[in-house]
Structure 1
Amino acid sequence: MSEVYIRSQNKEKLYRLGGNYACIEYGEHEDIKRKIGGSEADKKRHTICISDGCLEEIGEYESKERCIEIIDEIQGVCGQYLYAAGSKGFIRGIEAMPPMAAVVPRVYQMPEK
């Protein structure tokens, strides 16, 4: 996999997945500040973290399902590349060119919600 740049939800950091960072993962944590009172759902934090051996939070969302959707979007960006089908050289003066694929810089901005 080549590199994908991921901008944190708060826009303060830019990470390079495929460089130092090797993992994106979902995390569910109990929010200590919300522990007293409130419903059980209010006590949970749903986050996406990036890891280079230590986890660093890059976004927080309302549910596990939303986090998984965002991880799916990042996966889609990881698979993008530039493709040209090539040509057979039928036009006079133009040489046949083989198909070509190239990796282009890819950036994913973590959504606000």
Structure 2
Amino acid sequence: LTPGDDPRLHGPQVHGYLRMTDGSLRDITVYNPSTTWGEGELVSTVDDLFAFQQALFSGGLLPPRALDKLCTLPPAEVRMWKDGSPARYSMGLQTATVNGVTFWGKTGEMYGYRTR
């Protein structure tokens, strides 16, 4: 689904909330996130995201060489901008290691929503 100029989500959806400076929460589900350039022009379901991830990492979307590049981090001397730690982003994905297991994915957030 690409919403275009219509900020409303039609059908069932999760509402987005923004914490205000006074601590209250404001429902901002009807908000056009494209005011910050291209953000928000794709709306999906958890099932569709899972199917996309399965197809991507099983080689169903990209040739092997492209998938290898997608999962290759920059050289060790490339550092993250804020904290100076080693780069964790490749060509659109990021990596994290938890309890010795390496995960690839992409976090994201916009007003009212966040993925991790």
Comparing both structures, which one devotes a greater share of its residues to strand? 1
Q: What is the TM-score with the length of structure 1 in the denominator?
A: 0.25
With a CA cutoff of 8 Å and minimum separation of 6, indicate the structure with the bigger relative contact order: 1
Structure with higher Rg: it is: 1
Normalising to structure 2: TM-score of the pair? 0.25
